[in-house]
Amino acid sequence: MTHFTLSSNPAGHGVTLYTLRNAHDMRVVISNRGATLISWWAPDRYGREADVLLGYPDQQGYLANTPYFGGVIGRWGNRIAAGRFALDGVDYQLDCNEGDNHLHGGAGGFHLLPWQVQADPEGLRMTLASPHGAGGFPGNVLASVLYRLDDEGRLRIDYTATSDAPTPLNLTSHGYFNLNGGVDDICDHILSIDADRYLQIDRALIPSKAAEVAGSAFDFRQPAPIGARLAWPDDQLAVAGGFDHCYCLRPGDPATASRSRNAQTLRDVATVYDPGSGRELTVATTENGLQFYSGNFLEGIAGRGAQAYVAHDGFCLEAQAYPDQVNGPDREDVILRPGQVYRQTTTYRLSVRA
């Protein structure tokens, strides 16, 4: 069951805030700018509420939102090397907004744009029309995201999109979580990820090869504290300043081991547990990749607390295609063609251990 209420943001800037509320008074606040997750209020094991999402104290910060707090990322989540790709014999040059690379849709990505709200009895539906040439991408794309919050504490995000010309598409949600509500960093959080391999990166943070997680800091097949792993002497951690790597998720069914997103079913892929609060986050997705980012570049960002954020004050688990996949052997799996419908579902479920 989902309870939907509407409220207006007193700060203006053309923003309206929408609140999804379940029967237990858990509340998720979403902005029409960037279809952005603003807050998620949830109780700990003692019934004390806290906001488990990082963000800005008011809407002014979201005008630029350089950390991508809570936004829907498009047209391409993660990085494309040199902002270049070839499609059907045509070379494309994208907006390069992270050195020589394209990142998260470029300077005018989906996370900064006003989304239109449409009536939907199931939850909060937002749509965005992205014109041909936006960020350098071909095709007019119509994207939609449907947010639903059930009484079990599960936030479900369903993405769909169509295009009138072939174009790469890779949508994701960039929520930053801290399950202790921001009273401390995430180093005590205990993480598990259902993946045997991850993508190693070069100094530009572009994937260079797949590697086994076994015997490395990246092995979260059994639950392990994030902070202890950050302290491991690992060249890959040094390159990124922590974790900023895509995990190659196990398929939900060995019979559907294709890398195509349409072949996958929704399955649990990761959990994060905070021993202090008892809160536990379970992530499920239809995607093949899960980017684990340990908040390496949060230092000095003025958030909601009295003190600015520091590194590792939050984490992201972004379900998506593989970074730079548009330049890899499985590039066709991330091309949306006319007559096709892009579909992706990811859920985040908050519960409490006694």
* Owner of token pair 């069951």: 1
Ramachandran region, residue 350 (left: φ > 0; alpha: ψ -120 to 50; beta: rest): beta
Predicted pLDDT at 8 = 42
Q: Any bridge partners for residue 53, and if so which?
A: 177
User: Of the residues 102, 104, 245, 318, which is catalytic?
Assistant: 318
Per the annotation, the verdict on 111 as an active-site residue is: no
Phi/psi of residue 6, nearest 5 degrees: -120, 135
Beta bridge partners of 292: 245, 317
Question: Exposed e or buried b for every residue in 165-175, given b needs 16+ CB within 10 A?
Answer: ebbbbbbbbbb
Residue 16, H or E segment: strand 16-21
Cα-based distances in Å from 107 to 92, 96, 99, 134, 135: 17, 8, 12, 10, 7
Catalytic residue among 102, 104, 111, 174: 174
- CATH topology for the 3-352 domain: Beta-galactosidase; Chain A, domain 5 (2.70.98)
Q: CB–CB of 230/284 below 8 Å?
A: no
Determine the pLDDT at residue 251: 86
Residue 103 in tokens: 């990142």
Task: Please tell me the distance from the alpha carbon of residue 27 to that of residue 38, in angstroms, as a whole number.
Answer: 11
The single-letter code of the amino acid at 277 is: S
Distance CA 54, CA 61 (A): 12
Question: φ and ψ at 83, to 5 degrees?
Answer: 60, 30
The answer to whether 174 is a known catalytic residue is yes
Residues of the chain with pLDDT under 50: 1, 6, 8, 10-11, 254-261
DSSP code for 233: -
- Give Rg (Cα) of the chain: 19
What is the structure's pLDDT at 253? Answer: 57
What are the structure tokens assigned to 19, written together? 């609140």
Residues 6+ apart with CB under 8 A from 99: 204
Query: Closest Cα partner for 109 from 153, 147, 141?
Result: 141
What pLDDT does residue 305 have? 87
Q: What is the pLDDT of residue 79?
A: 98
The C-alpha atoms of residue 169 and residue 151 are separated, in whole angstroms, by 32
